[in-house]
Amino acid sequence: MSSPSAPTWGPLRSFGRIKSRTLKPRQAALFDTLLPTIAVPDPAAGPIDPQALMPGAQSVWLEIGFGGGEHLAEQATRHPEALMIGCEPFLNGVGSALRHVDERGLKNVRLHAGDARDVMAALPEASLDRVMILFPDPWPKARHNKRRLVQDETAAEIARLLKPGGRLRFVTDWKDYADWALERFERTPGLVWQAEEADDWRTAPADHVVTRYEEKKLGDTPPIFLEFVRN
């Protein structure tokens, strides 16, 4: 079942624009042909059963804000037995992800072109094996911190959704956001930070996928990798 008292989210705000440029013809066509076949059901319609999205899936992953879909597509390629749910409000990013799914012939990806928090509220407790948040909108000005994805409510929802032993990965290239996220995740019951020494957050995990966004180095620090396990 879904959360008995699902959080009431504030409005979704994107550090960029929801749509920055006209979709390429091929991507626009995929919105009409491919997306309807792999779209996550409307969260407003009721609870979402991951096993109904991909019967027989051995694990379920959620990527919150998949950008251009490079990471999502690569992880789906590496783990065809896992259901990969990706959520992204930026329409050009969704179009890019659709192209990756189409080119690779991926059968284990399901997309939501909107706010990930709505999908999270519709998922059942302990239904996810992994949650990935990679380079979310930084909102670096203090007066805008309340717009960040990672808040106490979001952290609590992630803890609710992860199976015991499930893992959360948060990556950012902004020092302040790393501190902000670590503070909120550490005070969330059920989430245990896995770092034991500095290299644990400075060194990319073995299965990390470097994307074009990461290569642009737009933040104020090299990427910081925070890994948590649901106890």
> Would you list the domain boundaries of the chain?
26-200+209-219
Query: Tens digits of per-residue pLDDT, 4-15?
Result: 444 544 554 544
Residue 211 assigned as binding residue: yes
Give the Cβ contact number of residue 177 at 10 Å.
25
Residue 19 assigned as binding residue: no
Which pLDDT belongs to residue 188? 98
Residue 220 to residues 65, 173, 174, 216, Cα–Cα distance (Å): 20, 6, 5, 12
Which pLDDT belongs to residue 144? 87
Which pLDDT belongs to residue 151? 97
Residue 25 CB partners (closer than 8 Å, separation 6+): none
DSSP class of residue 146 equals G
Residue 137 assigned as binding residue: yes
Residue 177 assigned as binding residue: no
Residue 49 assigned as binding residue: no
Whether domain 26-200+209-219 has CATH 3.40.50.2300: the reply is no
User: Which positions of the chain have pLDDT values less than 70?
Assistant: 1-20
Residue 214 assigned as binding residue: yes
Residue 141 assigned as binding residue: yes
Which pLDDT belongs to residue 3? 45
Which pLDDT belongs to residue 18? 46
Which pLDDT belongs to residue 20? 58
**What is the reported pTM?**
0.91
Which pLDDT belongs to residue 164? 98
Which pLDDT belongs to residue 10? 54
Residues assigned a catalytic role: 137
DSSP string covering 111-130, please?
EESS-HHHHHHHSPTT-EEE
* C-alpha–C-alpha distance, residues 192 and 16, integer Å: 32
Residue 10 CB partners (closer than 8 Å, separation 6+): 146, 147
Residue 199 assigned as binding residue: no
